[in-house]
Amino acid sequence: MNCYDVLIVGGGPAGSSCAWALRHSGLKVAILDKQIFPRDKVCGGWITPPVLTELEIDPEEYAAGRVFQPITSFRIGAIGSTPVDIDCRMPVSYGIRRREFDDFLLKRCGAELLLGAPLKTLERWPEGWIVNQEIQARVLIGAGGHFCPIARRVGAKAEYESAVVAQEAEFVMDASQLANCQVRGDTPELYFCADMRGYGWCFRKGDVLNIGLGRADLHRLSSHVHEFLGFLKSTGRISFDPPAPHGHAYLLYGDSTRDVAGDGYLLVGDAAGLAYSQSGEGILPAIQSGLLAASRIVAGDLGSYRGLLEKKLGGSRYPWLEAFGRHLPPQLISSLAHRLVGKRWFAQRVVVDQWFLHAA
Ligand SMILES: Cc1cc2nc3c(=O)[nH]c(=O)nc-3n(C[C@H](O)[C@H](O)[C@H](O)COP(=O)(O)OP(=O)(O)OC[C@H]3O[C@@H](n4cnc5c(N)ncnc54)[C@H](O)[C@@H]3O)c2cc1C
């Protein structure tokens, strides 16, 4: 039996951040992941500056030999309408590739890595857990993403939750695709669905293109993706068919009822359901929750994690507005927002500043 103080199940940003924050704790920590790294992860790969500061990542060091695309503007609109360009005049976000980023975080985190090893069995023992009948751990961190086996074990039923579902393709463009792509690296393009229940994106990072669409509604996702690709082609943003997309899902913070802390375990990242509600940004809250979980382990106080996580990620900024909105028919809100999204002031002040960059 291999014995650890902490076993982290999942080596994405949530799990590796937790391990990284425990690297000087004196605790014996391991990360178990079913995949061998570097591995692909369905994701746009857009990160905001606090990701770098929270993890003390030197942008220059990171950018050496890896994709690191500064973002200085956004193109915002609705599918089928004319978009507006919002120039932020300085880098306000970055584009990374998840197979590089997650591998970078995992390799420097200091934990023992048990890769290519899915969690198969999980049993309780008096002082903790037994995993796969060969690993003992006092504390278990569920960092296995939306379908995390630890989250499932403590009651999550992913198939019944109202998650965001998404499809995405990321690929290196060949010479002909490069010549037929009008999307600029410094300007991700975001196009909202007519009912405002999701949006599509077209995000270039050097020669890499990332195209996807996510919706808070799992019906007819493929036909929304098809419509979006048709729109991109009809407007000349791309003049070729991207490869077949891959799908995934995540829960928005506020929609999740998962119990993030319990006897001998904590859930972090997508396993806890923490993505920002309007943008779907999940990497930052995954990292923040991983760091917070580590601090609670060191403090020997897992019970305070739930409350501190709520404090960190915050409740609603505009509770009065949300309360007011709850009394309006959803169709009215969607139609209003759909009309506003192509207006410059709304795209800048609300979509970019508030929804995507969390500006005060
Ligand atoms: C299409 C799409 C686009 C997105 N775009 C963005 C974006 O641009 N920016 C952003 O901030 N967020 C984005 N997100 C959200 C973001 O991808 C997630 O919030 C983030 O990856 C969560 O990190 P995590 O570490 O919690 O989980 P993950 O990154 O999912 O990592 C979980 C790890 O657990 C492992 N695992 C799973 N099951 C097991 C098991 N049984 N045994 C062992 N290991 C297991 C997996 O192999 C994986 O490595 C997007 C999501 C989707 C679906």
Q: What is the pLDDT of residues 117-129, one digit of tens each?
A: 999 999 998 899 9
Cβ atoms within 10 Å of 79's Cβ, excluding its own: 21
Q: What is the mean pLDDT of residues 198-204?
A: 96
Write the Ramachandran bin of 45: left for phi over 0, alpha for psi from -120 to 50, otherwise beta: left
Task: Quickly state the pLDDT bin for 254 (edges 50, 70, 90).
Answer: confident
292 sits in which H/E element: helix 283-299
Four-residue CA torsion sign, 258, 39, 55, 95 = negative
Ligand 1 center from residue 145 Cα (angstroms): 5
Closest ligand 1 atom to the C-alpha of 272? Answer: 26
d(CA 192, CA 120): 40
Structure tokens at 139: 């504390």
What pLDDT shows up at residue 334?
A: 72
What pLDDT shows up at residue 96?
A: 98
Task: Quickly state the pLDDT bin for 342 (edges 50, 70, 90).
Answer: confident
Please say if the pLDDT value at position 159 is more than 70: yes
Considering only residues 219 and 135, tell me which one the structure prediction assigns the higher pLDDT: 135
What residues does ligand 1 touch, defined as CB less than 6 Å away? 9-15, 32-35, 41-46, 118-119, 143-145, 149, 166, 168, 212, 214, 248, 250, 269-271, 275, 280-284, 286
Q: State the pTM of this model.
A: 0.95
